[in-house]
Amino acid sequence: MNAAGAFYLNGKVYAGWSDGGLYSWTFDGSSLGPRADVLEQGNYVYGRTWTSFTDVTGMFWLDGRLYYTRSGDPHLFYRYFSPASELVGSIQYVASGPGVDALDWSNVEGMTEASNEIYFATTDGNLHRIDVANGGPVQGTDVVISGPGIDGRDWRTNAMFIAPEVAADTTPPRRAGQAGRSEQLLQLDRPHVGRLDR
């Protein structure tokens, strides 16, 4: 089984999974706690069959919404998600894509959000940054900030998220990628973070 998108919120990592589920782990900045089945704990009337995270390629949480992309689909979707109850909304909405803003999200391979900016990797290994406002990405603000042809880094991943650094730091968070930042960009399929197959 493999992660299919992930995000960090309130001391937990949430990840979609290739079995269609949504799981969570406590995360202290270096170690993952035991896995919990978010959809199972929700006691949904229809069980966990009404939604699936099987083909999710990236996800992030912002202002009560769980945003995500699906393999080969040009849209950025969202569902409401309450961190207090861990309940996932039953309706899937379209935030971006053809018919909305003409952006194409079909090549996403990892996505996260920080400071009202979406960071996403594409199939060519590049890391992009695009502004987000009013519940969606802002056209014309997409810029490639890293990648194989820029700095030799390949950003493709099943699950990317930004979490606080472990070391105590009293400086406010800054844009990811800046020196002295108090957040770290993590990828769940990289050895230094740990495996999510427990």
Q: What is the pLDDT along the chain (198 residues), one digit of tens a residue?
A: 588 888 989 999 999 888 888 889 998 877 888 999 888 776 555 545 567 888 999 999 999 999 999 999 999 999 999 988 888 888 899 999 999 999 999 999 999 998 899 999 999 999 999 999 999 999 999 999 999 999 999 999 888 888 766 554 444 444 443 333 334 555 554 433 333 332
pLDDT at res. 49: 53
Q: Give per-residue burial for 115-137: e unless 16+ CB within 10 Å, then b.
A: eebbbbbbeebbbbbbbbeeebb
CB neighbour class for 11 (10 Å; exposed up to 12, middle 13-18, buried from 19): middle
Residue 99: left if φ>0, alpha if ψ -120 to 50, beta else—which one? left
The model carries a pTM of 0.81
Distance between CA atoms of 40 and 198, rounded to whole angstroms?
Answer: 16
pLDDT at res. 87: 84
DSSP 8-state assignment for residue 90: S
CA angle (176, 16, 196) in 5-degree steps: 80
pLDDT at res. 198: 28
DSSP 8-state assignment for residue 105: -
Fold of 3-187: Hemopexin (2.110.10)
Q: Locate the domains of the chain by residue range.
A: 3-187
Terminal-to-terminal C-alpha distance of the chain:
10
List the one residue out of 161, 160, 167 whose CA is nearest residue 181. Answer: 167
